[in-house]
Amino acid sequence: MTTLYLEPASLTSTAGRAVQITAKTWFAVAALGHWIFLAYILAVFYPPIAERGLAGLEGMNLPTGFREGDTIGNLMSVSHVILAAIIIGGGPLQLIPAVRNRFPAFHRWLGRSYLVAAVLSSLGGLYMTWARPSPTGDLVSHLGISGDAVLVLVFAALAVRHAMARRIAEHRRWALRLFLVASAVWFFRVGLMGWVMLTGGIGIEWESFTGPFLYALGFAQYLLPLAMLEWYFHCQRTATPGSQLAFSGTLAFLTLYTALGIVAATAGLWLPMM
């Protein structure tokens, strides 16, 4: 949700500038959060994988980590972690105009790598969800995860289709949508830890990792960002100043929650493991 692609006249008013400022602020906060998560992935998971291969995930705090004798499942799990670094680290870089404009070749190759990683990770996620279920969660949890994986596949296909047809504006819109759904794993952790910090974990059954809040978050982790993105597109086209200000206020609140969730996830989940 940045000023990456379009600069329509509807965003030149005071309300329109508020849309741009809040969108840029959210993206800066989210990019920082992604790169902190990337540092965690590289520091915690890559060294044991490099040293021990498939067995590197043994003992890791992963619900679908290493399982003795399950070569295919272990391979899926390891590849899922490896691909996550490309998705979490590369996604924000793809959306920075200076990177795209100054290093177009890097932008294109990173975009291709990102798209392939997102597709493979989603296919692997579907396999692990249904053929290698986690000991925590239930059917509702699995449906939430699967819905995100399906959207990644659909949005990736549409982004490629419009790019090949040289419909660049449409390609970039679908690329933004892909970025949001491919980052759902990050949104989930940030949303969860922000909620825990604010409420202590109301609506969460920790032993089974189920409960009303987790059910809602399982779908909101990608549907809420997508809804905000569509609202942003609307603000670019025909939105009234009132709608633009409403968007800015809503996104400002979500940015504060995102920042809170990043701090909580960094302090409670990521730093202790690094």
Percentage, residues of the chain above pLDDT 70? 90
Tell me: the pLDDT tens digits for 157-167?
A: 999 999 999 99
- Find all residues with CB under 8 Å of 176, minimum gap 6, and list them: 1, 4, 5, 95, 229
Q: What is the pLDDT of residue 261?
A: 98
Instruction: Answer whether residue 98 shows pLDDT above 60.
Output: yes
Those residues whose C-beta lies under 8 Å from the C-beta of residue 237, and which sit 6 or more positions away, are 8, 10
Print the SS3 string covering 71-93. Answer: HHHHHHHHHHHHHHHHHHHHHHH
Is residue 5 predicted with pLDDT exceeding 70?
no
Least confident segment among 64-78, 183-197, 227-241 = 64-78
For 119-156, the pLDDT digits (tens) are 999 998 898 888 876 767 789 999 999 999 999 999 99
**Dihedrals phi, psi of 210, to nearest 5 degrees:** -130, -175
pLDDT at 137: 77
Domain assignments of the chain as residue spans, ordered by start: 9-273
Average pLDDT over residues 77-86: 87
